Amino acid sequence: MDRWVAGVLSLAFAGLLPGVVPRAAAQEALFPVSVSVAPRLDFTRDQMALAMAVSDDPDLAAFYGSNGLRPVFQGPEGAARRQAVQAAIAGAPRHGIPAARYRPEALDAGGGLASEVAHARALSRLLRDLTGGVLNPARVDPEIKRQPRRDRVASLLTRFQHAADPAAVVAGAAPDHPAYLTLQEALAGRADLAVPAGLPRIPEGVWRAGMRDPAVAVLRARLAAIGMAGQAGDDAVFDAGLTDAVLTYQRAAGLPDDGVAGPRTIAALNGDGASGRDARQRAIIVALERMRWMGSEDLDRRHVWVNIPEFSTTIVEGGTELFRTRSVMGKDTPEMRTPEFSEMMANVVVNPSWNVPRSIAVRDYLPRLQANRHAVSHLDVVDGRGQVLSRDGIDFSAYTAANFPFRLRQKPSDDNALGVVKFIFPNPWNIYLHDTPSKHLFANRVRAESNGCIRIGDPVDLAHALLSRQTESPAAMFQRARDSGRETWLKLTPAVPVHLVYFTAWPGMDGRVRLFDDIYGRDARIWAALEAEGFGAPSGL
């Protein structure tokens, strides 16, 4: 619906615009109310001017429509509200949002109606940004399957008007989660890993335990500048304490944690390339935006958190990590990248069958069946009713990827592609978590190797952790299902939220923000979209 029309309709349904009375059918379709509201006919010139000035913003139209078109930012009684808006705009950079987005220069230009509308527009836009993000994620990247809540602004405006502390209403609009606050602190530099300027650069090379070199003293000095070097008998010796310091830094910075100061670690400490301060701040700004898309719903209760760039799956409750395992994510191809979304995990499936995705069946297996109908014998050929068919009666050469009418399915077994267990949360993309008989990939640092689903490094332990709330012996419950040899669905009671997320900057349990590679380039696309919205270099926020 056109925003101007939506705004006028909002005011009309509030009974505040004369001569704008939608037909009953339109009322019934757009606003399910049983009684039509008679329009008001007595308006002052100022009220009409205010109505028309905000009619292109449905949230403002609904807000002013509900309060009788009374200004809220004018006169002495509006002073606290004006100050609250101005302070919130000045504080927008703490959320990674430039203050210029809200046109602070227009707030007091002209006074009267102009000032009223300028404050109202700035507040409405700020509340939209804080409650649902600046961007529409699906327009940035279609693999981000999130729909931010954007239905709270009008109610927040009403709360703001009547609050004894209107500034608190604005402050409370942002995600209420400790990770959001930690990211804000990191953006401000209080938890930043950037080394102060003016220190000597670490020379190129590879520095490890046992080495003695003047460069080791430079390395130690840079780590000491961020409180990580520890004590040393000889600054130029790479001792056990320095190894621990390098490990701590690498884990905090999202680097391979081997305790060796190699090219990537040195570049990060020197502030070069993708690990430099601006790149770090960009990652944090994007992470704040992603959190605003999610809000704080379900993030305090027990949930499964799958961070794609971290290649990890965790169970978190009340900000505490209860379980962690390495994971393998989708390959970086359009068909295989793991999407981002949230759903409810309802079942743990023990001894799962593997229904081969059609894309894999026609791409990988159909050519082999055409060459030899008895190839890939571990897979059953299944018809639309789920019946297993004899291959002898099928001419596979008669089919193409477009018209192949069968499904391929692997029965439960020790070498099943899904291993011994899978974790399902119904979604249109058929994404789930599962075991795998191929364990070697979990030793890799970069684990983007699957067809889109998430392979779990410790799947049986994950199953035990998920089942622990509904039985005194989750291991026994799981083993009974395993010993049956049959596909067995264990219902989770209650269902557990699962969030597939993509944070290249995220706080660890130690409170330090860690960085991870932008494996799919999504953060780069989000940053480009933010730049189009007026975001500049992070240091200029």
Give CA–CA dist 400/52, Å, rounded.
60
At CA 447, angle to CA 295 and CA 361, rounded to 5? 95
Cα separation of 533 and 529, whole Å?
A: 7
Q: Which of 119, 434, 464, 499 is catalytic?
A: 434
And the tokens for 139? 């327009």
Structure tokens at 100: 């210029």
* Cβ burial, residue 372 (10 Å; 0-12/13-18/19+): exposed
Show the tokens assigned to 31: 């606003």
Whether 162 is catalytic: no
* CB distance 453 to 467 below 8 Å: no
* Residues 159/188, Cβ–Cβ less than 8 Å: no
User: Exposed/middle/buried for 431, CB within 10 Å: 0-12, 13-18, 19+?
Assistant: buried
Q: Both tokens of residue 358?
A: 């059609």
For every residue of 195-250, DSSP letters joined together read PPTTSPPPPSS-B-TT-B-HHHHHHHHHHHTTT-----S-TTB--HHHHHHHHHHH
Cα 45 versus chain centre, distance: 47
Report CA-CA distances (Å) from 139 to 132, 294, 477, 499, 529.
14, 16, 44, 20, 9
- Of 95, 453, 464, 499, catalytic: 453
Instruction: Please list the residues that pair with 110 across neighbouring strands.
Output: none
Half-sphere exposure of 249 (CA within 13 A, CB side): 32
CA dist 198 to 44, 195, 221, 249, Å?
64, 9, 12, 20
Q: Which among 264, 227, 229 has a CA at the least distance from the CA of 244?
A: 229
| CA gap 40, 13 in Å, rounded | 10
Distances, alpha carbon 490 to alpha carbons 225, 233, 313, 417, in Å = 52, 57, 20, 20
By annotation, the residues acting in catalysis are: 434, 453
